[in-house]
C-alpha cells in the first residue's frame, strides 16, 4: 500500500507554526504601530461645523490665544469660545458668508455650535491648563503650531510618556510668561551655544525662580 502523505508532509506542522508565528508577530506589530496610546490620536483632524481657520485668526490676524480661550489662565479647562465672542467681529466681518450659518443660528437661537473636540487627555488624567500656562509652559508644547493649521489636528501624542518627558525635565519647555501664547518663540542663544542649550539654560533658571516641581513619582498628581 502506497503512502497517503508524501514525506514532505512531515514538515507541514512546522510550516504552519512558522506562518502562524509570523502572522502573530505581524498582528502585534500592526497593533503596536497604529494603536498604542502614543499614536492613537495623532493626526486626528475632524471636520468642524464651521471651517474655522486658526491659521487666519491666530497666524494672519495675530489674535492672542486668550482672546477666544479666555479662561485658560484661571481654569483647568481651556474653553471653546461662545458664539458671542465670534460675533464680536462676525456681526460685521463676513457677515453673509454661508460658512458662518451655524454661528448665526447659534447667535439667534442660543443653541451652541457643535464643535468637535480634537485634543483629549484620557478621562482618568486631570490635566489643568491654568497651572501649566501660569508657570510658563507654552500652548505649542502640547498643541503644536496651531497658528499654522488651517484645520486643527492632534499634533502631539498626549500619551503618558509625553507628559512625563516634560515633567521629568521641565526646563525643556519653560519660557517667559509673556511668551506663552507666542507659538513661534524660541530662546535666544547667547554667543555660540545652540538653540536647544539656550532653552535649557533659560528653562533651568525659570525652573529655579518659579519653584517648578511637577509631579513625577506621585501618581495622584494627575490621576485623582
Partner 1 sequence: MLKASFGALIILAVVGVGLAGFRGDKMGHTPVEWFNDMAHQPKYEPQHRSDFFNDSRAARLPIPGTVPIGFNLPGRYFQTEGNNLVDGLGGFANQPDYFNTGRIGDVYGDGIPDVLTARGAELVVRGQQRYNIYCAVCHGAAGQGNGVVKSFGLATVRPLVDDLLRAQPDGQIFNTITHGKNTMGAYGPVVPVEDRWAIVAYVRALQTATGAKLADLPADEQKKLQEQK
Q: CA-CA distance, 71 to 66, in Å (whole number)?
A: 7
Which residues share a beta bridge with 137?
174
> Cell for 145?
503650531
Out of 28, 51, 84, 168, name the contact with partner 1 by CB under 8 A: 84
* Residue 126 interacting with partner 1 (CB under 8 A): no
Site for partner 1 in 63-82 (CB under 8 A): 63-64, 66-67, 70, 74-77, 79-80, 82
* Residue 114 interacting with partner 1 (CB under 8 A): yes
Residue count, binding to partner 1 (CB under 8 A): 54
Contact letters (x/-) for partner 1, 41-60, by CB under 8 A?
xxxxxxx-------------
Q: CA-CA distance, 123 to 163, in Å (whole number)?
A: 15
- 3-class secondary structure, 137: strand
* Number of neighbouring beta carbons within 10 Å of residue 69: 20
Residues 6 or more apart whose CB falls under 8 angstroms from that of 12 comprise none
Chain contacts with partner 1 (rule: CB under 8 A): 12, 15, 18-19, 22-23, 26, 30-31, 33-35, 39-47, 61-64, 66-67, 70, 74-77, 79-80, 82, 84-85, 87-89, 91-94, 111-112, 114, 117, 120, 122-124, 153, 178
Amino acid at each position: 500500500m502506497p503512502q497517503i502523505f508524501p514525506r514532505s508532509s512531515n514538515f507541514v506542522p512546522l510550516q504552519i507554526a512558522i506562518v502562524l508565528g509570523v502572522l502573530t508577530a505581524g498582528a502585534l506589530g500592526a497593533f503596536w504601530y497604529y494603536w498604542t496610546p502614543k499614536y492613537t490620536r495623532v493626526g486626528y483632524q475632524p471636520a468642524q461645523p464651521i471651517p474655522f481657520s486658526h491659521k487666519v485668526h491666530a497666524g494672519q490676524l495675530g489674535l492672542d490665544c486668550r482672546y477666544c480661550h479666555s479662561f485658560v489662565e484661571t481654569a483647568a479647562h481651556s474653553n471653546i469660545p461662545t458664539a458671542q465672542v465670534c460675533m464680536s467681529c462676525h456681526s460685521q466681518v463676513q457677515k453673509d458668508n454661508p460658512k458662518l450659518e451655524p454661528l448665526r443660528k447659534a447667535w439667534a437661537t442660543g443653541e451652541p455650535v457643535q464643535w468637535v473636540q480634537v485634543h483629549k487627555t484620557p478621562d482618568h488624567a486631570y490635566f489643568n491648563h491654568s497651572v501649566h500656562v501660569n508657570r510658563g509652559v507654552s500652548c505649542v508644547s502640547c498643541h503644536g503650531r496651531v497658528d499654522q493649521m488651517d484645520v486643527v489636528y492632534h499634533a502631539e501624542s498626549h500619551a503618558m510618556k509625553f507628559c512625563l518627558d516634560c515633567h521629568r525635565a521641565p526646563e525643556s519647555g519653560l519660557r517667559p510668561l509673556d511668551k506663552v501664547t507666542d507659538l513661534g518663540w524660541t530662546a535666544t542663544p547667547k554667543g555660540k551655544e545652540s538653540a536647544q542649550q539656550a532653552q535649557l539654560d533659560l528653562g533651568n533658571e525659570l525652573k529655579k525662580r518659579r519653584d517648578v516641581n511637577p509631579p513625577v513619582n506621585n501618581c495622584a498628581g494627575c490621576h485623582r
